[in-house]
Structure 1
Amino acid sequence: MTSATSLFSPVEADLRLLSENLIKLVGTRHPIFYEAAKHLFAAGGKRVRPAIVLLAARATMAGKEISDRHRRLAEITEMIHTASLVHDDVVDESEMRRGVPTVNSLFGNGVALLAGDFLFAQSSWYLANLDNLEVVKLLSEVIMNFATGEIQQGMTKFDPEVTIEAYLDKSYYKTASLIANSAKAAALLSDVSRETAEHLYGYGKHWGLAFQIVDDILDFTGSTSSLGKPALADISSGNLTAPALYALAEKPYLETLISRQFEKAGDLEQAIALIQDSHGIEKSRELAAHHAHLAVEHLADLPASESKQALVDMTDYVLSRMY
């Protein structure tokens, strides 16, 4: 399988600079927040979201050098993403993230929540300093969407009536919104046409949905070591994702197990077996492929470049993670 980082060659130098700047952006005035942020950023991750921002910037600059505002937007995108992970880990009571202890497991829930808030606040301040009101609106909407998605997920746990459409809405709010809006923001900073900016939004939206669907498939097919977090975490906590929702249509008894919240011994294991015996994972793979193909279609009118090709290849990378 091609690694994500091998696709980032057009923005490799940009990403190195981003990694150096992230800790500096947090600052040292608040030692506990600084330590929490240092811990988070040191844990790494693939930097997929800022890479997409930087690739979108280079793909829309027609061979010209990207601006400092593009670079700052990529840094803001990673800060917002990291802040959302801190809050997610508190809500989910997660102890591991990317193979290392979470902020809440090291510093407690109170500090973790404040650290997440601090990163959101810092990103908002740097965002305002881009002096582009439309970009500010786009990224502010993302922060609102995170909360909307988290509330939707919390309100529908162990609810077998959840539809695929509702699942995709929640996935947009929690995952795809950041990628879609930040890709569009990069295009706006490149001063391209409104139509081109909307196509970058469409690319980010469908790429983000494909990424989340694949992540949800891997919750059933991956291992804890490969995921960097516990496998089967979603289904065991009542968060019904695409494989389970598709399986419900085939396996009626699955609804009984979910509705009683796996309260009897063996319920969870039986539910997992029913999902794996259904076409749920196969149909989820088809859904991910559908959104990946839609993402590529939104790149059709961009001029040929290394960065455009990297964005196309990123969709192949997403799908390759399923196998």
Structure 2
Amino acid sequence: MVIAEVPKLASAAEYFFKMGVEGKRFRPTVLLLMATALNVRVPEPLHDGVEDASATELRTRQQCIAEITEMIHVASLLHDDVLDDADTRRGIGSLNFVMGNKLAVLAGDFLLSRACVALASLKNTEVVTLLATVVEHLVTGETMQMTTSSDQRCSMDYYMQKTYYKTASLISNSCKAIALLAGQTAEVAILAFDYGKNLGLAYQLIDDVLDFTGTSASLGKGSLSDIRHGIITAPILFAMEEFPQLRTVVEQGFEDSSNVDIALEYLGKSRGIQKTRELAVKHANLAAAAIDSLPENNDEDVTKSRRALLDLTHRVITRNK
């Protein structure tokens, strides 16, 4: 899907799809499990060796959603790295660092355009609208992060809305798209959406924790990267609730490294990390509840996939990278 006519553009677009730096493939994994969890079985040969054509076509269309989702995700990473002036990603040099900002932006644009072409091929207006909304949300979330007022930077509600736009919208709407392609009811589609939304929020909250507690080697990027870029995340927001004087430091900004040290000192004395983990657990539990609320189905493949989706809610909150 990312083949380009210009070799340099092809190399840039494929940069984070190569073996070894392709990432965790978290989103495609969730979506393919969701497809089977919603009673869509992996096509098996019939007795005469011919596969069920309708099942095969549906599975192919749902796999296309997983591929589109990953392309949108990688495109957003390429653009974010340019905006953040990042020099590493997934343990290697970021694309903008290796090939320059212009090519990184173009590679991200190319991936989005290829995602749009693949999306149009599905010929499903509702699914196209869902994924188009995701791209809008990514831009909105990034803009919210760049243009915050003092009150907004210190607001947990604002932070969670921004986090939904930047992180959870993609997986929640993609899960809903999987359900819609399967012809599921509106109620089941909402449960799929709720699973993706809460799993995505839990994932990002743990990311926020790891930015303070992880190391560059385990994260594949510099730890403390958010606060050094002036981005205030859940642990600091929770610490601010306990120590209101921390707000003065936040408002001064973190260009001065001494303010980073002061903020970390307050964070260490607070329950900011613990409260962020607790909020992540809350969202993980909501994701699990959505799976438990799906209509009963005794099919072995469906049961296994639902169990795997439940297992992911646990893995998301216990991971260390």
TM-score exceeds 0.5: yes
2:186 corresponds in structure 1 to 194
- Check conservation: 1:295, 1:315, Cα contact below 8 A: yes
After TM superposition, the structure 1 stretch with the greater mean CA deviation from structure 2, 36-45 or 123-132, is: 36-45
Say whether residues 1:162 and 2:154 are aligned partners: yes
User: RMSD of aligned C-alpha atoms?
Assistant: 1.6
1:227 corresponds in structure 2 to 219
Q: List gaps (5 residues or longer) in structure 2.
A: 44-57
- Check conservation: 1:234, 1:240, Cα contact below 8 A: yes
1:316 corresponds in structure 2 to 314
1:12 corresponds in structure 2 to none
In 2, the alpha carbon distance for the partners of 1:161 and 1:143 equals 23
Identity of aligned residues (%): 44
Say whether residues 1:47 and 2:25 are aligned partners: yes
Return the offset for 1:249.
Answer: 1.4
2:9 corresponds in structure 1 to 33
Return the offset for 1:160.
Answer: 7.2
- Check conservation: 1:27, 1:34, Cα contact below 8 A: yes
SS at match of 2:16: helix
After TM superposition, the structure 1 stretch with the greater mean CA deviation from structure 2, 252-261 or 158-167, is: 158-167
In 2, the alpha carbon distance for the partners of 1:37 and 1:160 equals 35
Partner residue of 1:239 out of 226, 231, 237: 231
SS at match of 1:305: helix
SS at match of 1:28: coil
After TM superposition, the structure 1 stretch with the greater mean CA deviation from structure 2, 246-255 or 147-156, is: 246-255
- Check conservation: 1:160, 1:255, Cα contact below 8 A: no
| Larger-Rg structure | 2
1:56 corresponds in structure 2 to 34
Return the offset for 1:236.
Answer: 1.3
- Check conservation: 1:202, 1:295, Cα contact below 8 A: yes
Return the offset for 1:265.
Answer: 5.4
Render the CA deviation track for 1:213-241: whole Å, top value 9, x for unaligned. Answer: 00001101111111111100111111110
In 2, the alpha carbon distance for the partners of 1:211 and 1:226 equals 16
In 2, the alpha carbon distance for the partners of 1:208 and 1:154 equals 21
After TM superposition, the structure 1 stretch with the greater mean CA deviation from structure 2, 246-255 or 130-139, is: 246-255
- Check conservation: 1:157, 1:239, Cα contact below 8 A: no
In 1, the alpha carbon distance for the partners of 2:268 and 2:8 equals 44
- Check conservation: 2:226, 2:232, Cα contact below 8 A: yes
- Code of the aligned partner of 1:214: I
1:278 corresponds in structure 2 to 270
Return the offset for 1:266.
Answer: 1.9
Render the CA deviation track for 1:26-70: whole Å, top value 9, x for unaligned. Answer: 113122221012221111101000111101111113545352101
Render the CA deviation track for 1:260-305: whole Å, top value 9, x for unaligned. Answer: 1135452211111211221111111111011000011111233351
2:89 corresponds in structure 1 to 97
Return the offset for 1:256.
Answer: 1.8
Q: TM-score, normalised by structure 2?
A: 0.89
Partner residue of 1:217 out of 197, 209, 220: 209
In 1, the alpha carbon distance for the partners of 2:104 and 2:260 equals 30
In 2, the alpha carbon distance for the partners of 1:322 and 1:291 equals 18
In 2, the alpha carbon distance for the partners of 1:89 and 1:264 equals 22
- Code of the aligned partner of 1:39: Y
- Check conservation: 1:57, 1:70, Cα contact below 8 A: yes
SS at match of 2:200: helix
Render the CA deviation track for 1:184-242: whole Å, top value 9, x for unaligned. Answer: 10111111111101100000000000000000011011111111111001111111100
Return the offset for 1:157.
Answer: 7.6
- Check conservation: 2:141, 2:166, Cα contact below 8 A: yes
Q: TM-score, normalised by structure 1?
A: 0.89
- Check conservation: 1:217, 1:322, Cα contact below 8 A: no
- Code of the aligned partner of 2:31: V
Q: How many residues align?
A: 299
- Code of the aligned partner of 1:44: E
Say whether residues 1:132 and 2:124 are aligned partners: yes
User: Alpha carbons of 1:322 and 1:280: their partners in 2 closer, same or farther (altered >3 Å)?
Assistant: farther
Q: List gaps (5 residues or longer) in structure 1.
A: 1-24
In 2, the alpha carbon distance for the partners of 1:100 and 1:215 equals 19
- Code of the aligned partner of 2:235: P
Return the offset for 1:162.
Answer: 2.5
Say whether residues 1:107 and 2:83 are aligned partners: no
Say whether residues 1:248 and 2:240 are aligned partners: yes
